[in-house]
Amino acid sequence: MKKTYLILLFFVFSFVKAQNLFFEDNKAMRIDYHVFASLNMDSIAIRSVSTVDAFSFNENNFLDSFEYGMHKIEIYDSLSNKLIYSKGFSSLYEEWQHTPEALGNVQAFEMSFLFPFPKKSVKLVFHNRTQENIFRAIDSFYFSPLMAKNNSKKASISVMDIHISGSPKNKYDLLIIPDGYSQKEEQKMKEDFRKLSEGLLDCKPYSELKDQINIKGVVAFSQESGVRDPILNSMPQTVLNSSFNTFSSDRYLMLTEVWKMYDLATSTTFDGILIMCNTSKYGGGGIYNLYATACADCEDYAFISVHELGHSVSGLADEYYSSDVSVEEYYPTHIEPWEPNITTLVSFDEKWKDMLKDNTPIPTPVEGYRNVVGVFEGAGYQSKGVYRPAVSCTMKDVVYNNFCPVCSKAIKQMILFYSK
């Protein structure tokens, strides 16, 4: 009798554990929306709600514990108002708002958000950071499962396994999407998938986390070969139309067709996206929890991939401070930035203070402290008032496989968050 009771209990427990109260298993809801951005305002308009089948999420990371990014979406159960999902991210439009072009202009930007498919009605609350760097709700929308249209494009897109270490549910899943590869370049595309993957997996700390990472590639062809370069007046038609000279910064290689990117990406499960651009010109970019881009044929392709994925996967900031980047005074020096690898010393206790040796001066002079973790002035495009953890790092100099201990720790934390 007792034994039967225990067996029964076991089955009840297994059932409860396997079923999430609020979300369907193995299915996602996709929201496509427009952000109409002006200098100081974002206005959100929903474009479509759809279902993505065979998309898995890890229940252990439904709630974002990092608080990184310029934006955040929180999902509440409509009935109980309980917070059931959250995710921070950044955007290209937020960077555009820092450029002179944003003065007196309004521009529409595509954005998408994927989350586990809700069983009942949910409320999505969109947040932006205030000037004080605190998240503030800017708008909210209700979505019922009945609103979602079925996305049937999925079957026609083929996906190649590049490095598989286990079920996508408990791994960090990186998806590579090629841009600017014509039908004739299928072989090159597949070789480039491997080249970029090896570049990532051979770089510390990713090399120590190989068993926690899956890498796949979407086999997507472009009408024409190469990527757009407005300065050279070269404008090939490609699957994502990524382009150099974004915001008048020649090597800033970005795309604005986010919905198309999600059409391709949702052909499989992914946590992060790397756009592999078929060009030999130096360039790339990376936006936290949106996408990273990298030139596949340039000499520094491995450095660029890991540097840009540093931004997009782990929310790392640029540690360099002399460049032609078109944003000025990006980090107000009286506010602590959210990125884990830079500080204004306003709230340094929350950053890498615990990684400093007792006798390390704050700020730290370069001479005598070249190979230690310190607080070196100059980071985030600013030579004064913003500090970095190391004299040199892959987030500062064009050096592959040279992430400083603070960046390495942040990367590890993020990969392990997805793979726990």
Residue whose tokens read 């409320």: 123
CB of 21 to Zn ion, least distance (A): 40
CB of 388 to Zn ion, least distance (A): 6
CB of 390 to Zn ion, least distance (A): 6
Q: Which residues contact 365 (CB under 8 A, 6 or more apart)?
A: none
Residue whose tokens read 């600017």: 180
- Rounded-to-integer distance, Cα 409 and Cα 388, Å: 14
Of 322, 310, 314, 282, which Cα lies nearest the Cα of 395? 310
Binding residues for Zn ion, rule: CB under 5 A, are 341, 393, 395, 404, 407
By beta-carbon proximity to Zn ion, the closer residue of 35 and 393 is 393
Q: Which residues contact 349 (CB under 8 A, 6 or more apart)?
A: none
Q: Which residues, in sequence order, are bridge partners of residue 391?
A: none
CB of 197 to Zn ion, least distance (A): 22
CB of 393 to Zn ion, least distance (A): 3
- Rounded-to-integer distance, Cα 312 and Cα 292, Å: 6
By beta-carbon proximity to Zn ion, the closer residue of 273 and 393 is 393
CB of 174 to Zn ion, least distance (A): 20
By beta-carbon proximity to Zn ion, the closer residue of 51 and 408 is 408
By beta-carbon proximity to Zn ion, the closer residue of 108 and 399 is 399
- Rounded-to-integer distance, Cα 227 and Cα 237, Å: 8
- Rounded-to-integer distance, Cα 135 and Cα 128, Å: 5
By beta-carbon proximity to Zn ion, the closer residue of 216 and 351 is 351
- Rounded-to-integer distance, Cα 242 and Cα 238, Å: 8
CB of 378 to Zn ion, least distance (A): 13
By beta-carbon proximity to Zn ion, the closer residue of 72 and 388 is 388
The rounded radius of gyration (Å) of the Cα atoms in the chain is 22
Burial of 389 (0-12, 13-18, 19+ CB in 10 A): buried
By beta-carbon proximity to Zn ion, the closer residue of 313 and 407 is 407
